[in-house]
C-alpha cells in the first residue's frame, strides 16, 4: 500500500467520521441530557436526505435543497418531540426503545408511501462537483472535502454553543443533574425540546450532505444509527467533544480496516481465504475496538460527568 | 393436496395477515385459476418486488384477467424478504386460499424457503426471478419452473464478454455474502485473464470510497461487480465521481431499470448482462414496454419482463390442458411446452425447467424521452443452457 493510498483512505475515514459525528452529536445530547434513548434519530438523517433531494429537484439545485431541508427537519424534530417523545421522558428505557422503534417503522414506511421504494438521487452542487487528483487515476471529489470542512466547522460551532453560551451551560448542567437544574427554576422541558430539535436538525444536515454521494433510500439511517450509538458509547455519553473524537476514530477504524485487513490477513492465509476473512474481520473491527475501550474506560473516552 | 391436514393445525391467525385475499367461500371451488404472487414489497429492496408484481399484473391485464380461458384471481403476498414470513404466508395461500400456482419471488433465500411447502403440496412454483443453482442440478424439482435464468449464467456471460473484449486484468468486487461469492465464481468460469484483486464489501456498505481507492491503485483493464439494489446506486455514482468511469464497468444486477432512475447519467455507458432488455425488437416486447410505461409510469426491468412472460406461460399451459388443473402430469407437460410468445423473442425450457436462452451484453443508454434503460449491445451466448442441467434427474412421482 502506497503512502498516497493511505492518505486517501485516511481522508475517506475522516469524512465518514464527520458524517457520523453529525448524527451522533444530537444523539449524545438527547441521551446525555434527557436520559432518553432515541432509536428514531437515524430516521431524521434519512428524512434530511429525502427532503434535501426533493427540495433540490423542486427548487432547482443543491443549495436550495439544503436551505429548505434544514428548517423542515427542525420542524419535524419539534413535531415528533411534541407528539411522541415528550410523553416518554418519565418512562423506563424499554418503553422508550419500543416507542422510538415504532417511530422508525412508521416513518420508514411513510417515506416509502410518499417517495416510493426506488432510491432517489440528489445533484451535486455545481461549485463543488470537481475532483482533485490526490493519487494517479483517482479523483478525490471536492464535495467530500467540503463535507469534511462543514463537519469540522459545525463541531467548532457546537463546541462554542455548549461551552460558551448560557444555553450550553444549562445543557451541560442538565446532563449532569437534571432535577437540580429544574429545581433552580429552569424550564427543563423547554430545554429538552430545544436540544432535541437541534439534534434532529444536525442529523438532517448530515442526511442532506450525504445525499449526493450515497443512495437516498428507505432505511438508510438504520445502519448509521448503530455506528452512532457505538460512537457515543466510546466517546462518553453526553459529551460533544467525546462524540467528535470517537466519531473520527470510528470512521478511521472502519475505513482503514476495510482497506488494510485483507492485506494484513494475507500474511497468514492464502489469498482467497484472506480476502474473505479480512472482509469479515474488518466489519467487526469497530465493535472489537469498542469492547477494548470500554474494558479500559467504562465511562467512555471523554465522559460528560467528570468526577 | 397431500400434507395439508397435517400442517393446517400449525397455522396461526398471524400467518394470514399479509395476504390480500377476499375470503374464500368454503366448499365451493369456483371454475377459475388462483395465483399466489410472491414479491418483496416492503424494505429496501421493495422496488424489485414492485417491478415483479406490476409485470405479472400487466400480463394478466393483456389476457383480460383470464388464464387459458378461466377467470384468474391473484393473491399478492409480500414476503418482506424474510424467509419465515414468506413460508407462513405461502402456506396460508396454499391451504386457506387454495391457490393453483405460486408465482414470483425476487430473492433466492425466499425461494429456498418456500420451495418445499409449495412443491410438497403438489402445486407448481414458477419463479420469475430467483434462479439459484441449488434447484438447477441435483435439486431440480418436477413442480418447479423458472422464467428467469440461472444466476451463474448471468455472471458467466460477463466473464465471457470480458474475455471477448480482450480485457486482460480485471478487478472483482462483490458484497460479502453467498451470492457475491457465486458471482465471482460465475465470472471466473469463463474469464481466462488475470484477476488483479477480489474485494468483498460488507452488505451494508454505504460508502465505497475505500474500495474505489484500491481500484484506482490497481489500475485494472476493467471492473467486474455485482451490487444489487441500493448498493449499486451508491457504487455507480461514487465510481463516476471518483473519475474511474474510463475503466469499463462490467456488472450484473447493478445497473438495470430498477436502479437507473436514481443512477441516471452516472451509469451511462456501463455494462450489464441479461436475457432481456427493454429495446428488444419484437412485437410482443414493444407492446409490453409501451403498455407497462403507460400503466405504471416507469421503465420495466427484467423482473417485470420475466413475470409478464410467466403470466403468458400460465395462460398457454392452462389452455393446453383445457382448464383441467387436477392432472398434474398433463399440466407439467403443458408448462414445459412453453407455447407462448416471450418478450425475449424465443423461449424454451431445458430438462431442469430453467430457460435455455440467448444471453446479451447490455449497455445503459439515455432514450430520446430522457429516461434511462439498458440496451442490447450483442449476443454473447446463444441458446445457452445452464451448466447444472446435466445433473438434474427429474423424478415424477
pLDDT digits (tens, 9 = 90+) for B308-354: 999 999 999 999 999 999 999 999 999 999 999 999 998 999 999 99
Task: Taking residues A53-76, report their average pLDDT.
Answer: 93
Q: Count other Cβ atoms within 10 Å, centred on residue B306.
A: 30
Query: Residue A140: left if φ>0, alpha if ψ -120 to 50, beta else—which one?
Result: beta
A–B: how many Cβ contacts below 8 A?
Answer: 134
**Would residue A100 count as lying in a domain?**
yes
Residue B56, CA atoms < 13 Å, CB-side half-sphere: 30
The SS3 assignment for B378 reads: strand
Distance (Å, whole) CA A85 – CA A91: 10
Q: What average pLDDT does this structure show over B21-48? A: 72
Of A5, A15, A272, the CB nearest to B213: A5
Tell if the CB–CB gap between B212 and A259 is shorter than 8 Å. no
- Fold of domain B4-149+282-353: Rossmann fold (3.40.50)
How far B266 CA sits from the closest chain A CA (Å)? Answer: 10
Q: Is A86 on the interface with B (CB under 8 A)?
A: no
Q: What digits encode the pLDDT tens for the residues B367-378?
A: 999 999 999 999
Measured between beta carbons, the chain A residues lying within 8 angstroms of B176 are 276, 279-280, 283
Asked if A144 reaches chain B (Cβ–Cβ under 8 Å), the answer is: yes
In this prediction, residue A17 carries a pLDDT of 94
Segments forming the whole domain that contains residue A74: 9-217
The helix or strand, by DSSP H or E, that contains position A307, with its residue range, turns out to be none
pLDDT of residue A103: 93
pLDDT digits (tens, 9 = 90+) for B162-181: 999 999 999 999 998 888 88
Mean pLDDT confidence for B358-375 = 95
pLDDT grade for A140, boundaries at 50, 70 and 90: confident
Q: Among A210, A219, A275, select the one facing B198 at the smallest CB separation.
A: A275
Specify the higher pLDDT residue, A301 or B124: B124
* Interatomic CA distance for residues A167 and A181, integer angstroms: 12
With beta carbons under 8 A apart, name residues in chain B contacting A216: 262
- Helices marked H in chain B: 4-8, 46-62, 83-95, 108-120, 151-165, 178-188, 209-218, 230-241, 260-263, 283-296, 302-320, 328-337
The reply to whether A293 falls in a domain is no
CA distance, residue A218 to nearest chain B CA (Å) = 6
Average pLDDT estimate for A120-135? 82
Is residue A242 in a domain?
A: no
Q: Which of A29-33, A200-204, B77-81, B289-293 has the lowest mean pLDDT?
A: A29-33
- Of A179, A246, A186, A198, which is closest to residue A35 (Cα–Cα)? A179
**Domain extents in chain B:** 4-149+282-353, 152-274+361-384
Any idea which residue has 434511462 for its cell?
A: B372
Q: Do B364 and B260 contact (CB within 8 A), yes or no?
A: yes
pLDDT digits (tens, 9 = 90+) for B250-271: 999 999 999 998 888 999 999 9
Higher pLDDT, B274 or A222: B274
Compute the distance between CA of residue A225 and CA of residue A107 in angstroms, rounded to an integer: 15
Mean pLDDT of A151-169: 90
SS3 of residue B90 by DSSP: helix
CB contact under 8 A, A5 and B217: yes
Burial class from Cβ neighbours inside 10 Å (0-12, 13-18, 19+) for residue B130 reads buried
Please tell me which of the candidates A5, A215, A279 has its beta carbon nearest to residue B262. A215
Residue A284 counted as domain residue: no
- Does residue A114 sit within a domain? yes
Distance (Å, rounded) from C-alpha B282 to C-alpha B284? 6
Would the CB atoms of B241 and A139 count as touching at under 8 Å?
Answer: yes
CA B181 centroid distance within chain: 18
Q: Is residue A42 part of a domain?
A: yes
Number of domains in chain A: 1
As a whole number of angstroms, the distance between CA B17 and CA B9 comes to 17
The per-residue pLDDT for B397 is 54
What is the reported pLDDT for B12? 38
User: Domain B152-274+361-384 falls in which CATH fold?
Assistant: Rossmann fold (3.40.50)
Largest CA distance in chain B: 69
Output the CA–CA distances (angstroms, integers) from residue A37 to A34, A93, B106, in the order listed: 9, 7, 36
Confidence of residue A181 (pLDDT cuts 50, 70, 90): confident
- Is A95 within the bounds of a domain? yes
Portion 322-341 of B in contact with A at CB < 8 A = none
| Fold match, B4-149+282-353 / B152-274+361-384 | yes
Find how far residue A272's CA is from the centre of its chain.
Answer: 34
Distances (CA, A) of B23 to A181, B28, B41: 60, 12, 22
In a domain, A52, yes or no: yes
Name residues whose C-beta falls within 8 Å of residue B361's C-beta, 6 or more positions apart in sequence.
B157, B158, B161, B271, B273, B376, B377, B378, B379, B380
Least confidently predicted of A6-10, A33-37, B191-195: A33-37
Residue B23: pLDDT band with limits 50, 70, 90: very low
| Nearest-neighbour CA in chain A from B233: distance (Å) | 6
B259 Cβ under 8 Å from any chain A Cβ? yes
Confidence of residue B220 (pLDDT cuts 50, 70, 90): very high
Residue contact B210–A259, C-beta within 8 A: yes
Amino acid at each position: 500500500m502506497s503512502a498516497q493510498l493511505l492518505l486517501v483512505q485516511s481522508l475517506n475515514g475522516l469524512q465518514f467520521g464527520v458524517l457520523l459525528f453529525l448524527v451522533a452529536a444530537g444523539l449524545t445530547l438527547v441521551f446525555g441530557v434527557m436520559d432518553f434513548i432515541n432509536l428514531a434519530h437515524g430516521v431524521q438523517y434519512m428524512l434530511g436526505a429525502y427532503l434535501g433531494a426533493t427540495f433540490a429537484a423542486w427548487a432547482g439545485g443543491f443549495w436550495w435543497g439544503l436551505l429548505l431541508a434544514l428548517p423542515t427537519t427542525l420542524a419535524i424534530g419539534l413535531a415528533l418531540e411534541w407528539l411522541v417523545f415528550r410523553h416518554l421522558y418519565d418512562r423506563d428505557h424499554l418503553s422508550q426503545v419500543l416507542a422510538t422503534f415504532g417511530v422508525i417503522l412508521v416513518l420508514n414506511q411513510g417515506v416509502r408511501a410518499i417517495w416510493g421504494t426506488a432510491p432517489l438521487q440528489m445533484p451535486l452542487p455545481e461549485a463543488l462537483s470537481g475532483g482533485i487528483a490526490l493519487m494517479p487515476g483517482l479523483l478525490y471529489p471536492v464535495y467530500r472535502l467540503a463535507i469534511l470542512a462543514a463537519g469540522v466547522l459545525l463541531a467548532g460551532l457546537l463546541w462554542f454553543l455548549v461551552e460558551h453560551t448560557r444555553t450550553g451551560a444549562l445543557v451541560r448542567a442538565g446532563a449532569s443533574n437534571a432535577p437540580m437544574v429544574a429545581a433552580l427554576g429552569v424550564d427543563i422541558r423547554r430545554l429538552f425540546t430545544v436540544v432535541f430539535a437541534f439534534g434532529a436538525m444536525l442529523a438532517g444536515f448530515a442526511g442532506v450532505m450525504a445525499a449526493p454521494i450515497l443512495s437516498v433510500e428507505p432505511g438508510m439511517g438504520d445502519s448509521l444509527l448503530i455506528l452512532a450509538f457505538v460512537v457515543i458509547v466510546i466517546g462518553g455519553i453526553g459529551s460533544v467533544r467525546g462524540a467528535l473524537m470517537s466519531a473520527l476514530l470510528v470512521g478511521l477504524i472502519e475505513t482503514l480496516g476495510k482497506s488494510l485487513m485483507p492485506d494484513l490477513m494475507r500474511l497468514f492465509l492464502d489469498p482467497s481465504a484472506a480476502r474473505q476473512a479480512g472482509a469479515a474481520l474488518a466489519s467487526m473491527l469497530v465493535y472489537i475496538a469498542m469492547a477494548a475501550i470500554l474494558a479500559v474506560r467504562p465511562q467512555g473516552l471523554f465522559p460528560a460527568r467528570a468526577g | 393436496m397431500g400434507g395439508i391436514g397435517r400442517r393446517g393445525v400449525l397455522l396461526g391467525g398471524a400467518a394470514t395477515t399479509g395476504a390480500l385475499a377476499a375470503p374464500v367461500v368454503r366448499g365451493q371451488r369456483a371454475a377459475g385459476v388462483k395465483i399466489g404472487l410472491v414479491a418483496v414489497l416492503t424494505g429496501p429492496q421493495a422496488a424489485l418486488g414492485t417491478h415483479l408484481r406490476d409485470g405479472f399484473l400487466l400480463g394478466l391485464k393483456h389476457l383480460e384477467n383470464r388464464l387459458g380461458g378461466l377467470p384468474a384471481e391473484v393473491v399478492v403476498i409480500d414476503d418482506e424478504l424474510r424467509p419465515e414470513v414468506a413460508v407462513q404466508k405461502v402456506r396460508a395461500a396454499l391451504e386457506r386460499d387454495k391457490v393453483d400456482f405460486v408465482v414470483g419471488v425476487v430473492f433466492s433465500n425466499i425461494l429456498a424457503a418456500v420451495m418445499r411447502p409449495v412443491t410438497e403440496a403438489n402445486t407448481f412454483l414458477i419463479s420469475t426471478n430467483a434462479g439459484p443453482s441449488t434447484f438447477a442440478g441435483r435439486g431440480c424439482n418436477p413442480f418447479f419452473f423458472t422464467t428467469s435464468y440461472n444466476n451463474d449464467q448471468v455472471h458467466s456471460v460477463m466473464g465471457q464478454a470480458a474475455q471477448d473484449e480482450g480485457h486482460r486484468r480485471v478487478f472483482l468486487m462483490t458484497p460479502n455474502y453467498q451470492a457475491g461469492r457465486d458471482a465471482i465464481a460465475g465470472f471466473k468460469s469463463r474469464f481466462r485473464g488475470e484477476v488483479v484483486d477480489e474485494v468483498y464489501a460488507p452488505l451494508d456498505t454505504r460508502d465505497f470510497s475505500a474500495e474505489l481507492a484500491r481500484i484506482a491503485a490497481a489500475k485494472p483493464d476493467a471492473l467486474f461487480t455485482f451490487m444489487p439494489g441500493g448498493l449499486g446506486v451508491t457504487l455507480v455514482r461514487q465510481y463516476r465521481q471518483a473519475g474511474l468511469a474510463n475503466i469499463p464497468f462490467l456488472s450484473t444486477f447493478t445497473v438495470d431499470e430498477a436502479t437507473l432512475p436514481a443512477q441516471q447519467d452516472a451509469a451511462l455507458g456501463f455494462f450489464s448482462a441479461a436475457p432481456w432488455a427493454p429495446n428488444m425488437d419484437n412485437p410482443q416486447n414493444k407492446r409490453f414496454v409501451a403498455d407497462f410505461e403507460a400503466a405504471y409510469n416507469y421503465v420495466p426491468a427484467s423482473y417485470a419482463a420475466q413475470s409478464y412472460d410467466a403470466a403468458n406461460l400460465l395462460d398457454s399451459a392452462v389452455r393446453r390442458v383445457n382448464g383441467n388443473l387436477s392432472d398434474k402430469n398433463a399440466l407439467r407437460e403443458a408448462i414445459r411446452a412453453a407455447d407462448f410468445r416471450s418478450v425475449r423473442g424465443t423461449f424454451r425450457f431445458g430438462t431442469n425447467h430453467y430457460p435455455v436462452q440467448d444471453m446479451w451484453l447490455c449497455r445503459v443508454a439515455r432514450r430520446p424521452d430522457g429516461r434511462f434503460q439498458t440496451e442490447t449491445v450483442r449476443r454473447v451466448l446463444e441458446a445457452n443452457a445452464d451448466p447444472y442441467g446435466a445433473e438434474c434427474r427429474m423424478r415424477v412421482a
